[in-house]
Amino acid sequence: MANEYGAEQIQVLEGIEHVRKRPGMYIGSTGPRGLHHLVYEVVDNSVDEALAGYCKNIQVTINPDGSVSVADDGRGIPTDVHPRTGKSALETVLTVLGAGGKFGGGGYKVSGGLHGVGVSVVNALSQWLEATVWREGKTHVQRFERGVPTAPMEAKAGAGSKTGTSITFFPDEAIFTTGIEFDYSTLAGRLRELAFLNGGVKIIFTDNRLELLKVEEPHVETYYYEGGIREYVAYINADKQPLHEEVIYVQGERNNVQVEVALQWCSDAYTDNLFGFANNIRTIDGGTHLEGLKAVLTRTMNAIARKRNKLKENESNLAGENIREGLTGVISVKVPEPEFEGQTKTKLGNTEVRGIVDSLVGEVLTEYLEFRPNVADSILEKAIQAFKAAEAARLAREQVRRKSVLESSTLPGKLADCSSRDPSESEIFIVEGDSAGGSAKQGRDRRFQAILPLRGKILNIEKTDDFKIYKNTEIQALITALGLGIKGEEFDASNLRYHRIIIMTDADVDGAHIRTLLLTFFYRYQREMVDQGYVYIACPPLYKVERGRNHYYCYSDRERDQRVASFGENAKVEIQRFKGLGEMMPQQLWDTTMNPESRTLKQVEIEDAAEADRIFTILMGDRVAPRREFIEANAPKLALADLDI
């Protein structure tokens, strides 16, 4: 019988097979993020070996064929026969899920890597993988294809005293359907981050894809930071003006939890910039280590302010966001048994960490500032200024709120809202000018799409204090329409009125500028919203190509040229260049840019938060010199013919 249903029909997915069937469970996605995660998973093993004190150099290489090699000079994965599997420990580590020195303690005190799924998952999702281990005077080699060994491990003498492991793998195109090409800058950002977080470890990153890069020499970068996270803070603040030259540094260990904190305040920044890491993973959603740090900063600075008579008895305490204004801080904790929470597993949940951070940082910071009263004074003066500006901003906000209550409608008048009240299905298009707004309002699906037209260019909030921000009508409209709350307060996604916030600007220089100003606003005003993936960029077409009764939309010059070439040489073709969204008919705008079935949206993601922060400071900040240097350094890379000037 065809519809029999017994024990034989129940699928039991064994290890490797399960990974290949459900890769998302192990690496998050089968898109670019999951692809790059494979490299991180192998590198994390080498970093763990470095943290245990056995490895000093890690080499990451993208090979000409697109495969990746990760080699270290650690102890080498054990190669003796594993008592439970009867196979070599190397083969066991590469083929059995949850095998490795990280589980059950003993092998490593602390280990990085988010899922600890280890290198067996990389093996399962690779077309082929080759492992080489130098250990006990021998070179051990084994090759795998789609997770299955092609032959038992081979051992040859002659390795001398060399120790270490090298893993080379080629991702499986059957799994990573969006492509298996590694992006240099994505990997470089993470490797640089790892080198900062593990001071003294040298990571050499080489790209040997000469044909792809159209260069004659391989691209090589070395990341080596003796000062660890102190150098990280200095790197982020390179183009800002620090209030105190020396980066404040705290390091300690309690109950096997290692804590490292580096802090530096800057006079020309108006937001705080805290990066939290747990076991080398960036905790985007925060966690107990960041809560502990914020609490201890607030308590310590208020105590010092009272002691130094900066705050009088009858004055209220400075708020946490006042004290953190202009602060760049990195906190890195290493926890033996980490508990990660939240949808993306990027929030540290271990409750004991809060108290450990609080007490360790409290002691060291108090002592540091008591010996350096001038540093304490300059930080406090900035905090008190921030407190006064916040008070002025609060009064401005109250006026705005009162005014809107009198006018009976709290939402901005020019917002064309959608009928749905469910934020998870609603989206808002932020468009420039009324003509584009008119087309968008007519072309949208009223049920779930809202339109907010903005007049002109919004304020660049990178160089503006809070008082001016709240006075600005365009920014007021944005804050109330989106339900953003108040700058500096914890981000609460439940207050967001739309879960897709889409920037839709013209495909010209002004459009790009407005888009940059909006991204600066979102990044500085409510960065959590960007981190959690609520911000998108619409991709309107550049050209409409007509041939006879058929028409095609093209989103780039290359696509236009390919489309025209496909018609043959003498074909009669009409090409229309869209200068602005206002030129499009509402139906065209719906078909190309707004219809969820046919549009292209780019989700704004921040892979390398420190680098993003540095670029925002250079390009949007007050100081001209770093911006000029940036332009001079990058100008040769531009193809002038492609510029819209």
Is 508 annotated to bind ligand?
A: yes
Q: Is 72 a catalytic residue?
A: no
Q: Residue 502 is inside which H or E element, if any?
A: strand 500-504
At residue 597, what is the residue type? E
Could you tell me which of 205, 332, 206, 207 has the C-alpha nearest to residue 279?
Answer: 332
Contact 45, 194 (CB under 8 A): no
Q: Which of 510, 528, 583, 607 is catalytic?
A: 510
Is 432 annotated to bind ligand?
A: yes
Q: Is 561 a catalytic residue?
A: no
Could you tell me which of 45, 46, 17, 22 has the C-alpha nearest to residue 34?
Answer: 22
Q: Which of 508, 561, 629, 644 is catalytic?
A: 508
CA 619 to chain CA centroid, nearest Å? 19
Could you tell me which of 117, 175, 115 has the C-alpha nearest to residue 146?
Answer: 175
Q: Give 188-224 as a DSSP string.
A: HHHHHHHHHHSTT-EEEEEE--HHHHT-SS-EEEEEE
Q: Which of 432, 466, 474, 531 is catalytic?
A: 432
User: Cα dist. 97→37, 147, 344 in Å?
Assistant: 17, 11, 21
Q: Is 465 a catalytic residue?
A: no
Q: Is 508 a catalytic residue?
A: yes
CA 364-366-370 angle, to 5 degrees, is 120
Contact 312, 369 (CB under 8 A): no
Q: Which of 44, 207, 260, 506 is catalytic?
A: 506
Contact 554, 560 (CB under 8 A): yes
Q: What is the dihedral of CA 626, 632, 633, 634, to 10 degrees?
A: 110
- β-pair partners for 574: 546
Contact 282, 609 (CB under 8 A): yes
Instruction: For 255-287, give one letter per residue: b (16+ CB within 10 A) or e.
Output: eebbbbbbbbbbebbbbbbbbbbbbbbbbbbbb
Annotated binding site: 432, 506, 508
Supply the residues annotated as catalytic. Answer: 432, 506, 508, 510
For the annotated binding site for Mg(2+), the residues are 432, 506, 508
